[in-house]
Each structure stands twice: as structure tokens, then as C-alpha cells.
Amino acid sequence: MQDFSDILNNQVLLVALFACVLAQILKIVVELIIHRKVDVRVLVRTGGMPSAHSALVTALATGVGQTMGWGSPNFALATIFAVIVMYDAAGVRQAAGKQARLLNQIIDEMFQENPNFNEDRLKELLGHTPMQVIVGSILGIAIAFFARVAY
């Protein structure tokens, strides 16, 4: 049972999770500002401003750097992990979303006269724009630094 309480006392983990949750909450705020309505569905959709994935992994890497040292292998590992996650969010998943949009358009055009074709549409919003990733990263780093000052 001691191991579980260690997890709950892991400051780096808690700060990273807080950064992720805050980024998700900010998605609601951004949606309210842009579309003038509260849409809680943004909490379960992929994509959106800011990137919660980026906030999570940059807060984690920053926390590891603060606690273990900026030259530590642990910081190097966390940083490489963060770069891969952010690259995937803005690169690979964004490209997959563009492909899904094109495939949906092709299906719409090909089967326009056939109402019996009722395949589910592919999910088009899969990734983040580079700006969403950058803002999420800045948020994660800032939260980690502010949390470090607080304790």
C-alpha cells in the first residue's frame, strides 16, 4: 500500500496531470470564445486548442529536469518521449485526419445516388495543428515552473 501512496505523492506526476486537465478545461474556454457556446464534447474529442498531450509531456519533462537535473538521463528520456508525442500529434495524426477527410469526400461523391450505402464516416479531426501543439507545450512548461516555485 505504501507504493500507491508514493504515486499520489509524486509531485512531477501530479503537476503533469494537472497540466493535462487544465489544457482540457481551456479547450472549453476556447470553444466558448470562438463559438459563443459551451461544448463539453471537446473534452472527449481529439485535437483542439491547446494540445493536452503537449501540455502533459512538456510538464513531465520539465518536472523531471527540475528534480533529477537537466543533464540527467531521465530528463533526456522524458524529452525524447515528449518530442515523439508532439510530433505524432501534429504530424502523423494530422496527416491521417486529412486523408480521412479526402476519403469521406470520395465516398460522398461516389455513393451520392446510392442511399443504401451507410458506412460510418471516418473521423477527420485526429491531430493538432502546430500552433495547438506549441501552445500546449508552453502551457505545460509554464505550469511545471509555477508549480516548482510553489513547493
Q: How much is the pLDDT for 149?
A: 67
Residue type, 25: I
Give the span between the Cα atoms of 91 and 1, in whole angstroms: 41
Q: How much is the pLDDT for 54?
A: 96
Of 128, 149, 148, 144, nearest to 57 by C-alpha is 144
Q: What stretches of 36-129 show up as alpha helix (H) in DSSP? A: 52-68, 73-87, 93-110
Q: How much is the pLDDT for 71?
A: 97
Q: How much is the pLDDT for 84?
A: 95
Give whole-number Cα distances, 130 to 94, 99, 121, 127, in Å: 9, 18, 25, 9
pLDDT in tens, the chain (151 residues): 678 888 888 999 999 999 999 999 999 999 889 888 888 888 877 778 899 999 999 999 999 999 999 999 999 999 999 999 998 888 776 677 777 778 778 777 777 766 666 667 666 666 678 899 999 999 999 999 999 866 5
pTM: 0.79
Which grid coordinates belong to 118? 451507410
Residue written as grid cell 495524426: 93
Of 30, 25, 18, 10, nearest to 140 by C-alpha is 18
Please state the separation of Cα 112 from the chain's center in Å: 36
Q: How much is the pLDDT for 86?
A: 93
- 91: how many CB neighbours lie within 10 A of its CB? 14
Query: Radius of gyration over alpha carbons of the chain, in Å?
Result: 19
Q: How much is the pLDDT for 19?
A: 98
Q: How much is the pLDDT for 78?
A: 98
